[in-house]
Amino acid sequence: MAFQELIKNFDRLRDYMRDFFLYGYKTRGDHPDKSLRTYDNERRRIESYLGRYMRFRTQEGGRGKRVWLSMESAELEHNPFYQAYRSKSFTDNDITLHFFLLDILSGSPPPQAEGWTAGQLADELSRRYGLCFDVQTLRGKLREYESPEKGLCIFKAQRCGKALCYRLAEDQKDLSQLLEEHREELEDFLAFFSETAPFGVAGNYLMERAGLSNPHIRFKHHFLTHALDDNLLLAVTEAIREGELLEITNFGRRQRGQGLGAPVTCTGVPMAVLVSTQTGRRYLALYGDKRKKFHSFRLDYIQSVRRLGPCPPEILEEVRLHGEESLNAAWGSAIAWRPRRERLSMELYIDERREKYILQRLQREGRGGTVQQVGNNRFRYSVEVSDSNELMEWIKTFTGRICKLEGDNRQVVRRFYSDMERMKKLYEGTD
């Protein structure tokens, strides 16, 4: 089978791009769940999109060739992963109808008509271009370009008697004029939006269409792989907005990194998408209808998402009521159904004259906690959360300043003091 640059299955390509970017130590034989031909084809596709960022190294002992993607975010004008969204496969009819239908609908409709019917478009294609298309084929393409579910909305449809009449959406006519009239104002806005906001590929597309560049804006912390998950994020946010059930097919952390085991499927009501300001990881909070509890799925571990239709109103109302309460009580991505709040307080030594930045950090990163001065250069941070264990990674960043730690969860407090004692022995060389 000849290699083709265009893709049909974006999910498969997404997995390979993520592996090459995150797991650069892998070789061709480290993908046991994929055939060698599939691996070679996907690698060639990625090389055609991202060739300037690809690196290769032959392993010692004849263990194969390592492939990885190397990118310096401070040097990037735009996210290179957006290139993959421009490579969807199509047939000859797809590309022919795309341009010819746009050409016809951009002109005036037939006399005394609100738009073009499928039959009229078939006749016009024959008259103008000498092409003969079945009316049913045209109806399928028109529905695809009109459907909001596919995210296209290029055409608008309205009922004209017994038939549907199609016309070009108004925003399609005004887009080129808008980009031209506000070119200077849009340049920096689109450059920032396309690299930071969800669905930034839309901003990147507009920049390329208008011939705009990004000469000024660079990012120290740039979460490039978010672009690979935006197609999943679109389905998730639409399901949240419409109150629909979702079916999630998910790989765990060890499965994703090592290609082990089968994916897990979970069905439920999506509540929210949570984004970590520290790591950039994105999580889907979903109420699973089988175990009757909240789950947190990392978006980059989700293989696929399927919308199952509307959720019963009474279930949706109950889930949203308890979900809002649970999200307010959560520190991180662990969400409990009807959470029991745990109090945790930490007393710190902070030089209030020379280390005001520490106090500012407590206020900035404390997520609703309170900071009180309890003595000379001593401050207490207090918070109530559903799972105080989630705070420990953050709390340990203040090691050396912590005078006392107290909380309702005694196991968490004991483990903290045990870890500090072990670290002390390790540095003293007595362990």
pLDDT value of position 175: 65
Residue 97 has a pLDDT of: 86
- If asked whether residues 409 and 365 sit together in one domain, one would say yes
Read off the pLDDT of each residue in 207-213 and give the average, rounded to a whole number.
83
Say whether both 64 and 132 belong to one domain: no
Q: Are residues 131 and 188 in the same domain?
A: no
Please tell me whether residues 31 and 65 are part of one structural domain. yes
- Provide the whole-model pTM: 0.74
Question: Domain of 101?
Answer: 92-168
Q: What pLDDT digit, counting tens, does each position of 136-164 carry? A: 888 888 888 876 555 567 788 888 877 88
Q: Is residue 13 within 8 Å of residue 45, measured between CB atoms?
A: yes
What pLDDT, on a 0 to 100 scale, did the predictor assign at position 1?
Answer: 43
In 259-334, which ranges are continuous DSSP H helix? 313-329
- Average pLDDT score over residue span 110-129: 84
Q: Which of 10-19, 171-180, 353-362 has the lowest mean pLDDT?
A: 171-180
Backbone angles phi, psi at 76, to 5 degrees: -90, 130
**Residue 30 pLDDT grade (very low, low, confident, very high; cuts 50, 70, 90):** confident
Closest alpha carbon to 326 in 269, 386, 369:
386
Give DSSP secondary structure letters for 62-129: S--EEEEE---GGG-SS-GGGGGGG-B---HHHHHHHHHHHHHHTSPPSTT-SSB-HHHHHHHHHHHH
pLDDT digits (tens, 9 = 90+) for 343-390: 999 999 999 889 999 999 999 988 889 999 999 999 999 999 988 898
**Angle 325-327-329 from CA coordinates, rounded to 5°:** 70
Among 12-21, 119-128, 414-423, whose mean pLDDT is lowest?
12-21
**371 and 381 in contact (C-beta within 8 Å)?**
yes
Give strand ranges (E) for 276-301. Answer: 282-288, 293-298
Q: Round to whole Å and give the CA distance between 45 and 61.
A: 28
Name which residue leads in pLDDT, 254 or 334.
Answer: 334
Residue 174 has pLDDT above 90, yes or no: no
Whole-angstrom Cα distance, residue 396 to residue 166? 61
Same domain, 262 and 246: yes
Residue 406: which H helix or E strand, with range? strand 402-407
199 and 257 housed in the same domain:
no
Q: Establish if 335 belongs to a structural domain.
A: no
**Phi, psi values for residue 296, rounded to 5°:** -120, 120
Q: How far apart are CA 382 and CA 334, in angstroms?
A: 19
For 258-274, the pLDDT digits (tens) are 454 578 889 999 999 99
Query: What's the mean per-residue pLDDT of the chain?
Result: 83
Same-domain pairing of 51 and 99:
no
Closest among 364, 357, 385, 362 to 372, alpha carbons compared: 362
CATH of the domain at 382: 3.30.70
Cβ-proximal residues to 401 (8 Å cutoff; 6+ apart), any chain: 348, 349, 350, 358
* Residue in the block written with tokens 């032959």: 58
Position 171 scores a pLDDT of: 56
With a pLDDT cut of 70, the percent of the chain lying above it is 89
Instruction: Please write the tens of the pLDDT for every residue from 320-345.
Output: 888 888 888 888 887 876 678 899 99
| Banded model confidence at residue 403, pLDDT cuts 50, 70, 90 | very high
| Integer Rg of the chain from CA | 27
Top pLDDT among 310 and 289 is at 310
For residue 402, the model assigns a pLDDT of: 94
Same domain membership, residue 418 and residue 363: yes
Average pLDDT, integer, range 96-118: 81
Burial class (CB in 10 A: 0-12, 13-18, 19+), 294: buried
Q: Tell whether 349 is covered by a domain.
A: yes
CATH code assigned at 319: 2.30.30.520
Residue 4 lies in a domain: no
Catalogue the long-range contacts made by 85-91 (C-beta closer than 8 Å, 24 or more residues apart).
85/10, 85/201, 85/227, 85/231, 87/5, 87/6, 87/7, 87/45, 87/49, 88/6, 88/7, 88/8, 88/10, 89/4, 89/6, 89/7, 89/8, 90/6
Look-up of token digits 């190294």: 57
CA–CA separation, 59 and 57 (whole Å): 6
Confidence of residue 212 (pLDDT cuts 50, 70, 90): confident
Q: How many folded domains does the chain comprise?
A: 5
How would you classify the pairing of strands 370-375 and 293-298?
Answer: unpaired
pLDDT at 428 over 80: yes
Q: Judge if 48 and 126 occupy the same domain.
A: no
Specify whether 255 is located in the same domain as 208: no
DSSP symbol at 7: B
More confident call, 244 vs 256:
244
Cβ 399 vs Cβ 393: under 8 Å: no
Looking at residue 33, its pLDDT comes to 64
In a domain, 79, yes or no: no
Residue 227, in any domain of the structure: no
User: Based on the domain organization, do 206 and 268 belong to the same domain?
Assistant: no
Among 150, 168, 186, residue at a domain's last position: 168
Q: Please report whether residue 415 resides in a domain.
A: yes
Give me the phi and psi of 108, to 5 degrees please. Answer: -80, 145
Does 336 reside within a domain?
Answer: no
Question: Does residue 5 fall inside a structural domain?
Answer: no
- Both 249 and 297 in one domain: the answer is yes
- Which of 298, 329, 360 delimits the end of a domain? 329
CATH number for the domain that contains residue 102 = 1.10.10
Per the CB < 8 A criterion, the answer to whether 379 and 403 are in contact is no
171 burial (CB, 10 Å; 0-12 / 13-18 / 19+) is exposed
Structure tokens at 372: 């009180």
Which strand ranges, in their side-by-side order, compose the sheet holding 302-310? 293-298, 282-288, 264-275, 244-250, 302-310
